[in-house]
Amino acid sequence: MAKSAQSIDHFCDDNEISKAHLYNLLKRGEGPVLMKVGRRTLISAESAAEWWRRMEALAGARPARGRGRRDGAA
């Protein structure tokens, strides 16, 4: 059975990002929606999926980094 929510640590592990990167995304308003459940901070499966779709859309809208010029010029 799939989890309906996960901790920040598990979210970062599953998405192969550091907690520092997640906090930078949150600061810029580009992170997933967080929810407090008691003293725990969780990310719902729906929020994680929506975040993933937004990141994919942003990646498609930006040129790839580190590839240099396409025309072969230095």
Contact 25, 55 (CB under 8 A): no
pLDDT in tens, 14-51: 999 999 999 999 999 999 999 999 999 999 999 999 99
Per-residue pLDDT at 3: 74
In a domain, 46, yes or no: yes
Q: How many domains does the chain have?
A: 1
Per-residue pLDDT at 56: 93
Q: Is the pLDDT of residue 54 over 80?
A: yes
The model's confidence at residue 73, banded by pLDDT at 50, 70 and 90, is low
Angle at the Cα of 11 from the Cα atoms of 6 and 12, rounded to 5 degrees: 155
Q: Is the pLDDT of residue 69 over 70?
A: no
In a domain, 42, yes or no: yes
For β-strands 35-37 and 5-7, DSSP reports them as: unpaired
Q: Is 15 exposed, middle or buried (0-12, 13-18, 19+ CB in 10 A)?
A: middle
Question: What's this model's pTM, rounded to 2 decimal places?
Answer: 0.75
Question: DSSP secondary-structure letter at 32?
Answer: P
Structural domain range at position 22:
5-61
The C-alpha R_g of the chain, in whole angstroms, comes to 16
In a domain, 74, yes or no: no
